[in-house]
């Protein structure tokens, strides 16, 4: 007997749970119910839970548009998700009110009925109940009387304008402007831009480029001759006069940065004398090849740039 009672109770509990799982449930999150004016938008969030094999009939979902002369359904957003053994529909309903009451008035948003479909079963309904809110007028209709018996002013006087000091802001802008100008001048000086674009000429750097260019060509006497002439012109420009082998001491006194290269400079002038005065270009090329001449030009350029 006891077993039959327990079995019956268990059957009722399980049956009741299955019935609850099959019955649609609706949970609505409502906005505030007061403080609305003409043109305001109200949003209602409804969560409809149905069986896992059920679905809401799309035809029963309302479409945006006017519901009456003062209420419009602006948008309907539907999201579907699954939680546990039930399927859920998250439905967001956005309404806009166009009612302009003369005094605070209670208005009602109508209920919405969703048709729930299940395979081989009759359809059921999930109802989002109606909801009421208070719509307020934009201003009072009858103004209060003032102390003199006349109507009070509906609009208040404009608030007086207070003048704020901008000394701190102007000082900060001036300091920032001066700092920017100084930074630009320093950058222009560093990059040798205008007005600092004029700088000491580097004749040996120009000669180095010419010698390297000639060294990259096929070895010929003409190339060697041009390389020697480029270096001679660099010596002349660096000294502001013609420089021969006999002038080497005075040249190094005027340009002491090249003193460390004295042996190489003497070798250069000796080779140049042999090439131009003895007309022995082949012997000069053997004594000071074009590759060594390019190395000498590079060393002269490095000393020149070190003091530029």
Considering the entire predicted model, what is its pTM? 0.43
For 39, how many CA atoms within 13 A lie in the half-sphere containing its CB? 2
Distances (CA, A) of 89 to 15, 75, 139: 25, 16, 40
pLDDT at site 21:
61
Q: Are strands 71-83 and 86-97 parallel, antiparallel or unpaired?
A: antiparallel
Domain ranges across the chain: 23-135, 203-306
Secondary-structure breakdown of the chain: helix, strand, coil percentages, each rounded to the nearest 5? 45, 20, 35
Which segments within the chain are labelled E, that is strand?
25-29, 41-51, 55-56, 65-66, 71-83, 86-97, 105-109, 112-117, 124-128, 131-135
pLDDT at site 145:
63
> Is CATH 1.10.260 the classification given to domain 23-135?
no
74 pLDDT tier (thresholds 50, 70, 90): very high
In the chain, the percentage of residues whose pLDDT exceeds 70 is: 85
306 pLDDT tier (thresholds 50, 70, 90): confident
Cis-peptide, bond into residue 195, ω within 30° of zero: yes
Q: Which residues of 278-307 are buried (b: 16+ CB within 10 A; e: fewer)?
A: eeebeebbeebebebbbebbebbbebbeee
From the number of C-beta atoms within 10 Å of its C-beta (0-12, 13-18, 19+), residue 247 rates as middle
The mean pLDDT of 95-109, rounded to a whole number, is 94
Q: Could you tell me the maximum CA-CA distance found in the chain, to the nearest angstrom?
A: 140
Give the residue, 230 or 153, on which the prediction is more confident: 230
pLDDT at residue 14 greater than cutoff 50: no
Distance from C-alpha of 301 to C-alpha of 201, rounded to nearest angstrom: 11
pLDDT at residue 24 greater than cutoff 90: yes
pLDDT tens digits for 152-197? Answer: 565 667 778 878 788 989 999 999 999 999 999 988 877 667 777 6
Distance from C-alpha of 186 to C-alpha of 193, rounded to nearest angstrom: 10
């Amino acid at each position: 007997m006891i077993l039959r009672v327990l079995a019956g109770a268990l059957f009722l509990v399980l049956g009741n749970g299955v019935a609850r799982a099959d019955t649609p449930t609706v949970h609505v999150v409502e906005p505030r119910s007061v403080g609305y004016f003409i043109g305001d938008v109200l949003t209602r969030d409804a969560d409809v839970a149905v069986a896992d094999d059920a679905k809401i009939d799309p035809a029963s979902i309302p479409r945006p548009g006017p519901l009456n002369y003062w209420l419009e359904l602006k948008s309907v957003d539907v999201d579907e998700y699954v939680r546990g053994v039930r399927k859920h529909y998250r439905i967001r309903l956005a309404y806009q009110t166009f009612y302009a009451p003369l005094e605070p008035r209670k208005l009602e948003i109508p209920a919405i009925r969703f048709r729930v479909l299940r395979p081989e079963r009759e359809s059921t309904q999930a109802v989002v109940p109606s909801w009421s809110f208070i719509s307020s007028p934009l201003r009072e209709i009858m103004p209060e009387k003032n102390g003199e018996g006349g109507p009070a002013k509906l609009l208040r006087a404009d608030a007086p304008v207070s003048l704020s000091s901008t000394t701190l802001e102007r000082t900060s802008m001036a300091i920032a402007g001066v700092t920017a100008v100084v930074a630009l001048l320093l950058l222009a000086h560093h990059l040798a831009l205008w007005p600092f674009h004029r700088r000491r000429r580097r004749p040996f750097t120009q000669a180095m480029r010419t010698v390297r260019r000639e060294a990259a060509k096929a070895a010929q006497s003409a190339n060697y001759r041009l390389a020697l002439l480029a270096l001679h012109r660099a010596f002349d420009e660096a000294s502001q006069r013609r420089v021969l082998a006999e002038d080497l001491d005075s040249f190094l006194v005027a340009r002491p940065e090249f003193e460390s290269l004295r042996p190489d400079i003497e070798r250069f002038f000796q080779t140049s004398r042999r090439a131009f005065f003895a007309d022995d270009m082949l012997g000069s090329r053997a004594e000071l090849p074009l590759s060594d001449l390019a190395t000498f030009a590079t060393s002269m350029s490095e000393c020149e740039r070190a003091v530029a």
